[in-house]
Structure 1
Amino acid sequence: MIDRLATMCTSVSAVPSHVLDATRQTLVDTIGAAAAGAATRAGQASLKGAPLIWGPGDCSIWFSRRRSTAVGAAFVNAAYAAALDLDDGHRKASGHPAAAIIPSVLACAEHNGAGADAILTAIALGYEVAVRVSSSREIATLRTTDSGLWCGYGVAAATAWLYGVSAAVMSHALAIAGQTSTSQAATGFTRIGHTVKEGIPWATANGIQAVMLANAGHRGPVDMLDDADTYARTRLVGLPGDAWAIEGAYFKLYSCCRWAHAAIDGALTLQVRMSLSICDIDTILVETFERALSLPNLPDPSTNEAAQYSIPFCIALALVHGEQALLPLKEEHLGDAAVVALARRIRLVSSRNYEHAFPGSTPARVTIAGKGQVDQQEVLSPRGEPLNPLTRDALETKFLALMEKSPFDEKQALALLEAAGRLGIDRKPSDLYAALRACEP
């Protein structure tokens, strides 16, 4: 199957204009998420540590004038993009392709001088491969769906295509990336917040290295996707046709696990409809799909990362401080007495109504009791899903809000928005690279 994925990728020379448009939208969203993520503990540690591992080079580390090798820069930029759980995702994959693929493509494109259309095509192809590999598994039965387990395939496909290697070399790159992917061994066990999270930056670096190693002669287990009991072949092969995976991306308005978003939307709707202050709320019941209960869901998380995986805390934070408190989620709210007290009054239960919802959807029904009232709201598709899409204006508003957390001023933020959003239309890759490092004199 790997050889057929590689043949599919190498047979593509260009993608339709509507795919380019979707790719630009995902590019803008990823850069916005990264701008906020650069200031986090994970972002700063990556900025400090990655150049010590991979050394200097000619590829930009975003939002600075620092440079590293393609692998080093991609690692840092992927760490930025994934740090706050604000990066895009895809329902079929149950995870986050772009936070790995976009940093890898931009780093390698800067290294080899690729043009705008090549950059956008590589991103779309990498996204396609990553989603296909992830969705070919029975996601509902997996121990973990962590993106680091599969997004490296997309990185390897995208960067191998960008470097113009043969289908045979790309096959081995995909196999090496898959065989050496992150283990994510602690997922589902640990209740301690940590900055490794889904392993996206590690899969990003690993995917680029897999291409370099395959091109130098290393060989991978190219039959590793051939097990029909594990990977559904019909989901792996065939040309994309009119519907490309990147066109089905979802985008986030809250920096937390997507499994919490339907419940947050429902709770905010009820708060307005019932005219409730925080003191008025007696209890909140959240009925959702079983897998959502596997998150740590701590009512009083001690780290930003643990808060991102707590449905009660994120609901309470949105109700106490407004949804803008989740764009992004800030450490200053950890330990907030009002938020923690409300989070302790939130109960999560699995609903038989949503027994077969995941991974196709992440619904919730929220019931709030307070002030002598009881009301409920069901949300089947949270905001930002393809069935409940955000407008272009909403996505740009999100981008500019996140840029406020960066060193960029308003003029620089707007220039970056234009450079990414109009890449290949009237903006060149050099415009984008310059805009990404415009924050330093």
Structure 2
Amino acid sequence: MMKMLNQVLGLGWSDFSEETTERAKWVLIDTLFVMMSGIRHSPESQKYLKDKAVWQRDKAHPIHVPGTEAYLTEEHAAILFGTSIVCDEMDEGSQFAKGHPAAHLIPAMYIEATKHEIDGKQFLTALIIGYEIAARFAYASNMKDEMHPHGTWGIIGGAAAVALLQGKNKNEVIQTILLAASLPLATSWEAAVTGQTVRNLYTGLGNVIALYVQDFEKAGFVSSEHVLHHLWGRIMSRGSNEDLFLKKINDPLLINLNYFKLYPACRFSHSAVEAFLQLKSKDKFDVDDIESIEVETYDLSARLNHPSPQTTLAGKFSIPFLISILAHDFSLFDATRDEIFHNPSVRNLARNIQVTANQAMSEKLPEKRPAQVTVYLRNGRKIVGAVDDAPSGFEMESIKRLESKHWRIADHSIDSGQWTEAILDLQNVTDVQKLLERYVWRREK
């Protein structure tokens, strides 16, 4: 692990390709749009904001909440921002890490950027390096599938990025990382699939730790690589693979291989969703024509097989429910609406959709995430759709879909294209925070 840290922490702006810096900007753009959407639309985020906010910046409440006229303390902002990014299942992620690095970096970085002037190159450098450290650590550690990735290894990247923004030297950054890696939350995958919103708090609290660990390092608290081997090699995971810390490192950086969600649902469902949409676009049929549907996919995805979600969050983790919504020609972006979520026809079809694990597909992880969907019609016909992977969201056609997603979740309240254009020029910005506050939309308090 130390070889990886020394190599990654030795990188600077001149080492990054144009593709890497471009991808990092889109990670920032996507995460901020998703964060603001979550703040506005999550009932828990709205209530928390109302309870904790003041309406004029003061010394105790220095953090402006994008999309509002509100200000929060650093701690409350970290909780709100991190929680809001993940609440609608629209956050970017890494299939090598099996989780969502940016959700653990950008809230803490945004908060740090309010304390002193940080230019665009500094900000992007910290984002790229922090992302690599978090994703590389998760890739090598192979955390237990029973745990949820939020609030665990992502803290490491957030802590590293903030430490870099604070100007800590390499030894200080490494000790900060060791401390952060020693303070993961004990998380549960069941919280997600049963729709318990404590799962969203994992990310918010992870950002709090990423911020607080900076002071712990300054005070002299220490951890060690030995502690990390015990914690991540035996307790949090089933043993780490040391070779993956350095496998193809910087060839390319893992942020180059991230994905952007084009559907507001657990990433593990996206291959099945894409396969169904492709077959539906090629062969027209009515929902009343469907007898049943079978989905074959990799093992992690096949866990999303509960057909009757009881909460809207659980619905985002149910392949049968998601595919039934699409079969009824509804949008997944509208799945939380009562008339769709409780629709009897949607519910009935979902109970006739079977999801099974395919070993050959599972063996293609993490490079590929395949799925095959077979629709059986009442007239005896069978229609099959298959994909080798879910879309990354960064192909040319997907970029248009990504921009459409941002326009949609912004509720047309800002010129999303103008804000995107400004962040795409971030390397020439002298004060990141001024740019972010300038282009966000504001609501009446």
**TM-score w.r.t. length of structure 2:** 0.88
- RMSD of Structure 2 on Structure 1 (CA): 2.7
Counterpart CA distance in 2 for 1:193 and 1:431 is: 36
Counterpart CA distance in 2 for 1:336 and 1:202 is: 35
Counterpart CA distance in 2 for 1:166 and 1:93 is: 26
Q: Which amino acid is 1:11 matched to?
A: G
* Equivalent residue runs for 1:353-432 within 5 Å: 353-372=360-379, 373-384=381-392, 390-404=397-411, 409-411=413-415, 413-425=416-428, 429=432, 430-432=434-436
Counterpart CA distance in 2 for 1:40 and 1:368 is: 34
Q: Which residue of 1 aligns with 2:289?
A: 280
Q: Which residue of 1 aligns with 2:217?
A: 214
- Cα distance 1:144–1:182, how it changes in 2: closer, same or farther (>3 A)? same
Counterpart CA distance in 1 for 2:397 and 2:258 is: 11
Q: Which amino acid is 1:97 matched to?
A: P
Does 1:346 find its partner at 2:353?
Answer: yes
Which of 251, 254, 268 is 1:259 aligned to? 268
Q: Which residue of 1 aligns with 2:130?
A: 126
Counterpart CA distance in 2 for 1:91 and 1:193 is: 22
Counterpart CA distance in 1 for 2:360 and 2:248 is: 35
Shift of residue 439, structure 1, vs aligned partner? 3.8
* Equivalent residue runs for 1:42-121 within 5 Å: 42-48=44-50, 56-121=60-125
Q: Which amino acid is 1:315 matched to?
A: I
**Gap runs ≥5 in structure 2:** none
Q: Which residue of 1 aligns with 2:33?
A: 32
- Cα distance 1:190–1:158, how it changes in 2: closer, same or farther (>3 A)? closer
Q: Which residue of 2 aligns with 1:293?
A: 302
Q: Which residue of 1 aligns with 2:43?
A: 41
- Cα distance 1:253–1:172, how it changes in 2: closer, same or farther (>3 A)? same
CA deviation digits over 1:242-298, x for unaligned, max 9? 511111111111111111111111212222323111111111000112222333x33
CA deviation digits over 1:374-417, x for unaligned, max 9? 1111111122267x67543222111111111xxx6243x34332
8 Å CA contact 1:364–1:378 kept in 2: the answer is yes
Shift of residue 100, structure 1, vs aligned partner? 1.5
Q: Which amino acid is 1:68 matched to?
A: L
Q: Which amino acid is 1:369 matched to?
A: Y
Does 1:11 find its partner at 2:17?
Answer: no
Q: Secondary structure at the match of 1:397?
A: helix
8 Å CA contact 1:171–1:222 kept in 2: the answer is no
Counterpart CA distance in 2 for 1:91 and 1:192 is: 22
CA deviation digits over 1:147-180, x for unaligned, max 9? 3221000001100111011223222222222222
Shift of residue 434, structure 1, vs aligned partner? 2.1
Q: Which amino acid is 1:12 matched to?
A: L
* Equivalent residue runs for 1:312-323 within 5 Å: 312-322=320-330
Counterpart CA distance in 1 for 2:44 and 2:440 is: 19
Counterpart CA distance in 1 for 2:124 and 2:335 is: 30
- Cα distance 1:50–1:192, how it changes in 2: closer, same or farther (>3 A)? farther
Which stretch shifts more, 426-435 or 375-384? 426-435
Q: Which residue of 2 aligns with 1:174?
A: 177
Does 1:150 find its partner at 2:153?
Answer: yes
Counterpart CA distance in 2 for 1:317 and 1:427 is: 46
Q: Secondary structure at the match of 1:96?
A: coil
Which stretch shifts more, 331-340 or 146-155? 331-340
Which stretch shifts more, 89-98 or 430-439? 430-439
Shift of residue 299, structure 1, vs aligned partner? 2.1
Identity of aligned residues (%): 22
Counterpart CA distance in 2 for 1:355 and 1:381 is: 12
Shift of residue 418, structure 1, vs aligned partner? 2.7
Q: Which residue of 1 aligns with 2:333?
A: 327
Q: Which residue of 2 aligns with 1:438?
A: 442
Q: Which amino acid is 1:327 matched to?
A: F
- Cα distance 1:202–1:234, how it changes in 2: closer, same or farther (>3 A)? same
CA deviation digits over 1:45-89, x for unaligned, max 9? 44246669xx93322222112223434323211212111111111
8 Å CA contact 1:270–1:375 kept in 2: the answer is yes
Counterpart CA distance in 2 for 1:328 and 1:137 is: 36
Q: Secondary structure at the match of 1:347?
A: strand
- Cα distance 1:174–1:51, how it changes in 2: closer, same or farther (>3 A)? farther
Shift of residue 236, structure 1, vs aligned partner? 2.4
